[in-house]
Structure 1
Amino acid sequence: MPISPIGLAKYRYYRLALAIAMGLVTLLFTLGIRIYEQKQAIGDDQQRVASHTVEKLDKIFFPVQNITSLPAIEPDQQCPALQPSLQQSVAKLQTLRAIAVVKDARIVCSSLLGALDIDFSKALPHMLEGVTNLELRPAMMTSDPVPTLIYWQPKSTDNRNGLLFIYNIDILSSFLLEPQPPFANRIVLNVMQQSLEYDKKSITPRASIPDVPLLDVHSEKYNFSVSIYGRPPLALAWSKLPNHLPLSILISLLASFAIYLFSGSRISLAYPISHAISHREFQVYCQPIINSEDGKCIGVETLMRWKNRRQEWVSPDVFIPLAEQHGLIIALTRYLIKQVSDNLAYFPSNANFYISINVAAQHFNNMEILKDIHDFWLPANPQVSLMLELTERTRLQELTAEQIEQLKAIGVQLAIDDFGTGHSSLSYLKTLNPDVLKIDRAFTAAIGTDAINATVTDSIITLAQRLKLKLIAEGVETREQADYLRDRKVEALQGYYFARPMPIDVFPIWLERYQQDNIRAEAIAD
């Protein structure tokens, strides 16, 4: 039963649409992550630029706090005696324009102009009042109104005596406030309500700057701040979008390809299943079932094994569920029935010997299984019995008593496989009226342990005996398990302890050797 071309085409369109959609989602997600990371990085860089500018400005004030060449300011000391030492300090520091001396709230001496007499309270009232020790203003001691930065260092508690350090900030701003595109198009120094921008020859009120700064960073030591102006981090991040597109597109294409392959993983095996059925790639294996009392082989369970066109073995745990999902399980079981029917010569001509075939619940719908038995099994004139093992991966529809009787009338036995592990085992006891219950290998493995499954095993055995049902235990791997089940009157055993699954044409060889071993064992026992 191959997948129809229409269904296959629809599924391919679905896979393609899913792959494209997931590729677009991956592209958007990847770009979003990259834009977010870029935004964070640009924001950090802008913060770094502002903080570094503040650090550089802080450093120009540090040397004046440690000047040792200036003499103490005495009340009666005159400017001619002070000026040489002031000039010497200016020359040593280099960053200074001038140093001025304040006595009794009067600016009395300047390293640049010599003796002065300027009212400190009128020239720099905020400093006298102790509001600030830093002020940005035009030069007040020369006719040229160049921007200057004045640092006040009081020498008395009443702020009436001290030193004024005057920096030619116009020159210093050429490197201190130099923009660093693209992170900062403009860097502005703010002192109180006055601002100075790079390459500007005048001081402007801060309130007159129309733009809103990206960020302000304040000095922790001095009364000034630095403002950064430019494009917001998000806008800059978006401008870098072309740089991120190649990698993001590559990732999205890989994601689309992976989704396309993943979404096709089912059909990529489902379609070869149909091909394998028509090209007879599936091989029939069988595993012996042993009578627990006399040790004779009383039947086999037939199994499907698949070696694909690349000579690779595909696990039944992969292709059986896949075949069920894609409506191929009936065709697969039909193939098995026909192969077994064509190879009955490999089995003993004994009506008490049975061949067990796993049948999915779907095969019972509309009693297709009955038609297949009539088409393939009965025409082969079998001398052995047929047992159908119902697997419980899918739910069995309600069968009528008449349908069950039709199966049993042609000598078919019914068994519930892996009893206790499916979703409706107990209900199947009523629906199928089975002849056999098969104990799942998980319960057999629990024998000799304190696991809950060990108790369940005993319960299943008790239930089957009360209902007068035969029991077959799967997964018998040890002598201990075999003895335990034999002591509890489990009729038949199956597992690696006796034999592994083998190709159908190898079974006669195994059976002959097994029977000879049994004869020798009985002779030794006698």
Structure 2
Amino acid sequence: MQSAHWIVKQYLHKRILLCVLVALGVFSLTLGIGFILQRSENKQQIESYTLRAVTTMDKILRSLEKERIRLQPLIGKPCNDSLLQLRQQVATLKTARSIFLVKDGILYCSSAFGERDIPLRKLQPRLADSKPKIILTIDRSLVKGSPVLMQWFPAAQDDQNGVVIGINIDLVSEMILDPSPPLITRTSLNIDNAYYMDGVGITEQRLQRKGEMFYSQASRAYPFSIAVSGPSFWMLALRELPGRLPLALIFGLLFAWITWIATARRMSFSWEINMGIAQREFTLFCQPLLNTRAQRCDGVEILLRWNNPRLGPIAPDVFIPIAEAKNLILPLTRYVLNETAQQLHYFPADPKFHIGINAAAAHFRDDKLLLEDLNNLWFSVKPVVQLTIELTERDALHDVNSELLRELHSRKVQLAIDDFGTGNSSLSWLEKLHPDVLKIDKSFTHAIGTDAVNSTVTDIIIALGQRLNIELVAEGVETPEQANYLQRHGVHLLQGYLYAPPMPLAEFPQWLAKHNGPPPPVMP
């Protein structure tokens, strides 16, 4: 038989092993996430860089394109009459180095040299064309042999007449082709099969070292692209990885310490509740709600029962307050919502039939939390029955967003205050919630017919509900005397053992079939 010492030693070894595994896992995960994020950031920076370069070049070309409207009327006019305006345009544009006028395929006027008489194709064989064109080539007129970027604008789709604008490629290079090492080591402007790089000039093939990344971004407006190259994303991310080691080590040790503290505790009751939810150990019961005036069952209240296979049956009065204290009431409520929605076939498909589900004040602290849970767990099954959210008063209720209440009412969800008069600031709840229903706590129902103070409070609650036009439900009705008193005072929705005890949902259809008639008789 294993000794206590051996069990403790094994448990200690398992704790140490678990903490080491957690530390290594967190350490590796932190480095891995850092590596992936750095790689993604490098990629985003390169994409952003090339996009800005393309956008800048688009703006330059677009501004030149607008100027052709002013320049094209000059085509065919004598050069002496147009020269001054051409030079003024060059000075104004800044991005243009020269402007040429072409008539019948002859370059006859230059902003730099004045009157000329040179066939355009002799200077630039790829010009002219019947459509606008951008070429990257070698200059043969101003600074012969230097790179030049030209934009050709034909006159009315006539390839013999038009305007040629020589773009200041040095300025373009400064604006858009400035590398950003170590991320980007080379940047080029690409037009057709020509590549221009600052300091290199024009080449017919891209310059890319082996193992480098290459990324290109094309313009959607003009026939050019911007390409960049540099170390691969992986290589750059690996270079940054050593700087993340201290943070990864801190996270690893921190999570190891947290694991050590967490595993030091014995199995807690909160763990039992979580296990109960995960293993579906909780069972739904329901207790009918009788309308004594109409002599029918108008609805049910959903109740939670727990037969713990490890500890035996546990009363709701035990596990629900603990769930609230351990912040587990929301998972329990979601469990009830989901289980009820999946078992709606046990209830009449009648929009006037009410199903009451208890919720804690914590569900109202976040404006969207309750709505999200209802949308995901309740409305997703398209229920026909009426849902009533019964809010318990065990916890203090903070301010409730009026939009949340309007949304609940628009979805035809009723609000009820459960166990009214026994919890926190009942009257303030009336102001904050504007409830549709008040459920009189069973302690006040049991006081009927006695001299207890609660008997007087019962009358006050009834009068308050009637004055505010709020529907009243009496809980814990166990005797005909209590039922008779409540009906005489205008409370006709009754719930308690006099009519039916809580029962499993599967038994409700059979009970309902036997109790379609009037409720049990009350004292005259």
Q: TM-score, normalised by structure 1?
A: 0.48
Q: TM-score, normalised by structure 2?
A: 0.48
Bigger Rg, which one: 1
